[in-house]
Amino acid sequence: MANIWTIAANELRMMFRSRSVMLNTFLLPLVLIFLLGAALSGVVGVKGDSSIDPVRVAVVYTGGDPQEASAVADFMKSPELDGYIIPVESSSRDEAESGLRNGKYGYAVIVPQDFDGKVQRGQEVKLEYILGKNSMDNTVAGTVFDNFLGAINYRQAAVQALGPQAAVAAAAAAEPASSRETAVKLGDLNNGGQSYTASQYYAASMLLMFLLYSGLDVSGSLFGEKDRHTLYRLGSTPVTGRELFFGKILGIGIVAALQCATIIILSNLLFGVYWGNRPWLLILFCLLMIVVSMTFSIIVSMFCKTLTTANTIVNFVTVGMTFLSGGMNPLPDEWVHSVGLFTFNHWAMDSIIRMMLHSGLSQLLPNLWVMSLIALVLLGAAIFSYRKVGYHA
Amino acid sequence: MHKILAIAWNMIKRTIGSRKGLLIHILVPSIVVAGVIFITGGMEASNPVLLYGNRDAGTAGGHLIAELERTGAYTLKEVKDEAELKEAVIAQEGSAGLWIPADYTANILQGNRPQVGMYELRTSESSILVKMKVDTIVSEMTAAAGLIQAADTSGEADQTAQFAAVLEQAREHNVGSIRTDYDLYPRQTLGVATGMTLLFLMNLVSSTVTQILKDRTGRTMMRMFSAPVRAYEITLGNFLGSCMVGVIQILVVLVLGKWVLRYDYEVPMTFYFLVLATFMLVAMGIASTIAGLLRNPKNAGMINMLILTPTCMLGGCFWPLSIMPEYMQKAANFVPQKWAIQAVDLASTGGGWDVLWQPFAVLGLMAAILLVIGSSVMRPSEASIGV
């Protein structure tokens, strides 16, 4: 038993001496959580973003005379558009189209004949938008013109539904001072406790990704001894193969646990990530994830001949599972519930988020059983493969 | 020259010469990349699910939902109560959840601007767009309510009926717009699909650099240097060999994506290949620079990770750059991924070489600098096996 500790301590010492391991284990996750938090923090809307370049919009009056569509013509001149839209009158649809293709315009609006008259008579009238080359410009211009048309549409509807007295009122009310106050209140998913932010989601997904990555340390350590031919030397010492093996795994397990604790504590202190109300259960899930990651890597290392092969497999499984569990970028919703279920990350992720949101214990237990089951199966497979293959020079 | 080719050929043989090497370095990664492209490409077709609960006694809530449905951009799914809505959002059954409170219509008719509750587990593009859309619809409804109040002062019940009538008429969308789409703009998922390809490509490239590194730690490089070959021949040979392996990897990925999974890249395949190949040179430069600075090959892969993931995030591999704050977008200029994605974007919108030269020049410059540093620091003399 003492031998196991000696080897684990040595493993720890070697890892802590290596600068790259330290950077990768403790700094990288924090950098990533910060990047994710910073990149996705800004709620980007069309309004309030000063960095938007105005869009050059070609306006074609099919009737030829802008006076036929004074509502549109007035709107084009209104100061509201400043900074978003630069309207440019274009002679024909063809001219506008070719301008769009060669980048002269970012967007085009085709105004039909007798626009004003049709609006007043309550007839159907549609502006035609031609989408340009830049998705962002398309969104900006589309939103601006849709808002404009929406206002006209509601006014026309009001006149039709209420009769002519509404027209008078509409003229009087002219431009309702639209308050910039948002109509959407972000609800708190939480059942009490601190409020939940989107950055917590990514903190959890990054934590799990890095716990899976710690499997690379296992394969690195197991193969490193072989590649450096130091396993021969160890064979001449009074250490049994089993002690050596478990010592190594223990050492790496301790590093993984330390990494996990660092990520959780530092992300909390530095970025204010709240990790939920059940610290013991959180620890339990993290430990299960470490067991899963270690045992998986052991199985891979047992059946691979070289470090590169083993690392490639662990790497791809880690990135693949994080991706499929929706931890990197949003997946189609149905994927999370089909393919996502087959990833290790999904179960731990779901429970960590539920803990952050103070969900009841009954919702967490199923995840705990699944995680335990995965860990048990992998542990069994790891023991089996160790017995079958072993760890020899 | 044939010495260089011999070294290059040896490099290729060692990496992908065996059946296992072929499997590990070519087949498995390519299938993974192609699969990722397939999934992200498939996202285009599927609408995000929007969960909602409507407790509103009046017509405004229903109108809001109907208008959202009319955009055709969401699959709407109703849930019973607020607790269930929260639970469904947490279980990720939808991208976002909307909750319309009971007195919503009444509140609007009183001239207020009541708020709809929205739940989301994480910020995403689609949830931002939902927010904007709801904002617009609510503005229109409050304007309509204002009109009704201005028009006459009949009783409250009357106003409710009038409001319902206005909304119903508005749903006809007599005044509206038609969008003509010539597909001039790059598809949203193209950037992410390219980004994912770059991420995995960088990962792959590091594996060939590991081979060179192995030569160094195994003292093979020292022996090679004692052979009658010049140092530059060894470097060039290794470099050429790694390039060839990379090119084969790219080709397999592209062939799988294009002809097996039928993903539409929107740009000529030769051009896409050119972008990826140029990017591969940069990736190789990064990998060899790191490898040169490190003594232990085991850590090279790790440090690669340290560079790879953050730069991919910053470079817009995971999400469009436009949703990031401005200072982050500026920082992205220093990242090669950004330029590769930009090149594909520009080309897919029909940009010619008059605009395309810029991303390629940046990528080429990055590759040149990094490769020079990389090859100069990869010296056989430093073949110590450190920790």
Q: What pLDDT score does B268 carry?
A: 83
Burial of A179 (0-12, 13-18, 19+ CB in 10 A): exposed
d(Cα B173, Cα B140) in Å, to the nearest integer? 13
Considering CB atoms only, which of B113, B120, B203 is closest to A181? B113
Q: Are B166 and B137 a contacting pair, CB within 8 Å? A: no
Q: For domain A55-185, give the CATH number.
A: 3.40.190
d(Cα B191, Cα B319) in Å, to the nearest integer? 8
How many Å lie between the alpha carbon of A176 and the closest alpha carbon of chain B? Answer: 6
How many Å lie between the alpha carbon of A232 and the closest alpha carbon of chain B? Answer: 17
Count of beta carbons in the 10 Å neighbourhood of residue A212: 27
Q: Average pLDDT for residues B222-237, to the nearest whole number?
A: 79
Q: Which amino acid is at A286?
A: C
Q: Are A247 and A198 a contacting pair, CB within 8 Å? A: no
CB distance A187–B152 less than 8 Å?
Answer: no
CB distance B124–A146 less than 8 Å?
Answer: no
Considering CB atoms only, which of B95, B146, B175 is closest to A149? B175
Q: What pLDDT score does A370 carry?
A: 93
- Measured between beta carbons, the chain B residues lying within 8 angstroms of A147 are 136, 139
- Measured between beta carbons, the chain A residues lying within 8 angstroms of B124 are 330
Q: Is the pLDDT of residue B54 over 50?
A: yes
- Tell me the pLDDT tens digit for each residue of B277-324: 999 889 888 888 877 776 666 666 666 677 888 888 888 887 777 777
CA closest to B158 among chain A residues: A162
Q: Is the pLDDT of residue B43 over 70?
A: no
The residue with greater pLDDT, B380 or A61, is: A61
Share of chain B above pLDDT 90, in %: 3
* Every domain of chain B and the residues it spans: 2-43+187-386, 48-172
Q: What pLDDT score does A381 carry?
A: 95
CA neighbor of A17 nearest in space, from B210, B380, B299, B291:
B299
* Every domain of chain A and the residues it spans: 2-47+194-389, 55-185
Q: Is the pLDDT of residue B386 over 50?
A: no
CB distance B172–A328 less than 8 Å?
Answer: no
- Measured between beta carbons, the chain B residues lying within 8 angstroms of A41 are 123, 325
Query: pTM (2 decimals)?
Result: 0.75
Give the SS3 label for residue A350.
helix
Tell the CATH topology of B48-172: D-Maltodextrin-Binding Protein; domain 2 (3.40.190)
Q: 């607790």: which residue's tokens?
A: B83
Q: What pLDDT score does A188 carry?
A: 67
Handedness of CA B60, B65, B69, B71 (dihedral sign): positive
Q: What pLDDT score does B362 carry?
A: 92
CB distance A40–B319 less than 8 Å?
Answer: yes
- Measured between beta carbons, the chain A residues lying within 8 angstroms of B93 are 333, 337
Share of chain B above pLDDT 70, in %: 88
CB distance B128–A31 less than 8 Å?
Answer: no
CB distance A186–B118 less than 8 Å?
Answer: yes
Establish whether this prediction's ipTM goes over 0.85: no
In this complex, is the C-beta atom of A233 within 8 Å of any C-beta atom belonging to chain B?
A: no
In this complex, is the C-beta atom of A303 within 8 Å of any C-beta atom belonging to chain B?
A: no
Taking chain A (393 residues) in runs of 10, the rounded mean pLDDT of each run is 88 83 82 79 45 78 77 79 80 84 83 83 83 78 82 81 68 52 69 65 86 88 87 87 90 93 89 85 94 94 85 83 77 72 88 85 89 95 90 77
Considering CB atoms only, which of B140, B181, B200 is closest to A150? B140
d(Cα B11, Cα B30) in Å, to the nearest integer? 20
Q: What pLDDT score does A330 carry?
A: 64
Non-local (6+) Cβ contacts of A369 within 8 A are: none
